[in-house]
Homo-oligomer: A and B are copies of this chain.
Amino acid sequence: MSVNSNSEPSRYDQKLELILRTSARIFAEKSFHSTTMRDISRATGVSLAGLYHYCKSKEELLFLIQDHCFGRVLERLEQRLSASSDPIEKLRIFIDNHLSFFAANMAEMKVLSHEADSLGGDLHAHVSNKKRQYTRRARKILSELQHTAPAATAARPARRNGRRRVTDSRRMDLTVATYALFGMMNWIYNWYDPGGKLSVTQLVDNITQLFLAGFLAREEAAFALAGPGMAEKISVWRTA
């Protein structure tokens, strides 16, 4: 995790980055509660007294990991989104930004997920606020997609005489869609190997493809794709 967004991080920042990166790895391995400052001192080679020069407590370390992650991801996202006005491209940028950052910071990703409630008070409120801001950004892109997709479809006369492919994508619940997207992306810390044969680009392509086609298509497309006979099976979708 890069702590400083400038190209020339100070020695202080470099050392802090080493401490945060190592702490994240240990928190991910043995949980925040089971980790001691002594563990972090041993793993970083920074004395206990030295560690307290960078943070007041173990809790502050956890806060800095979470705060810097969300901060960096948000900052990179806004930079990249500023060049785009197309909602599909925005979604692609969002997914690419999230996955490429966290594929390089898998321990941090696990810590963000598992230790979200290990912070209390103001520290928790501060991180929650950034997380809400980030979630709202994703939801806004999806909302834009829902509102532009039907118009785009209507603009294709060749399709209008056939069965409509998109009738009303607004029926997809935005809350479910937003968290389904985060679920697909954030689950990677459980299975993805950044050094394995599936590149981050391939991961991004597959996730974008899966989510975007599903979000825009709706059940009508799924039935159409499934071939004849599926129309009668529509009850399958409604059984509790």
B155 touches A227 (CB 8 A): yes
Residues of the B chain whose Cβ atoms lie less than 8 Å from the Cβ of A114: 114
What is the CB-to-nearest-CB distance from A52 to chain B, in angstroms, rounded to a whole number? 24
Q: Does A82 contact B (CB under 8 A)?
A: no
> A89 — which chain B residues lie within 8 A by C-beta?
233, 236
Q: Is the CB of A100 within 8 A of B214?
A: no
B175 x A198 contact (CB < 8 A): yes
Residue among B156, B177, B179 making CB contact with A227, cutoff 8 Å: B156
Asked if A212 meets B206 with Cβ closer than 8 Å, knowing A31-B33, A227-B156, the reply is no
Question: Which of A7-15, A71-79, A121-129, A218-226 forms contacts with chain B?
Answer: A218-226
Give bound CA distance, A207 to B219, whole Å.
11
Indicate whether A215 reaches chain B with its CB closer than 8 angstroms. Answer: yes
B176 pairs with A228, CB closer than 8 A: no
Check A187/B176 contact, CB under 8 A, given A205-B237, A209-B218, A217-B214: no
| Bound form: Cα–Cα A152–B225 in Å | 7
Least distance between A145 CB and chain B CB atoms (Å): 9
0 or 1 for each of A85-101: is its CB under 8 Å from B? (1 = yes): 01011001000100010
Of chain B, the residue at the smallest CB distance from A200 is B240
- Smallest distance from the beta carbon of A180 to chain B beta carbons, Å? 4
The answer on a CB contact under 8 Å between B34 and A228 is no
Most chain B beta carbons < 10 A, residue from A166, A200, A202, A221: A221
Q: Which residues of B contact A53 (CB under 8 A)?
A: none
**Contact across chains for A225 and B236 when beta carbons are under 8 A apart:** no
Interface presence of A238 (CB below 8 A): yes
A141 CB within 8 Å of chain B: no
Residue A186 lies at the interface, judged by CB distance under 8 Å to chain B = yes
Contact A188 B198 (CB under 8 A): no
- Chain B residues contacting A50 (CB-CB under 8 Å) are none
Q: Which A residues contact B (CB, under 8 angstroms)? A: 31, 33-34, 86, 88-89, 92, 96, 100, 113-114, 149, 151-153, 155-156, 159, 162, 165-166, 172-173, 175-177, 179-180, 182-188, 190-192, 198, 200-219, 221-222, 224-228, 230, 233, 236-240
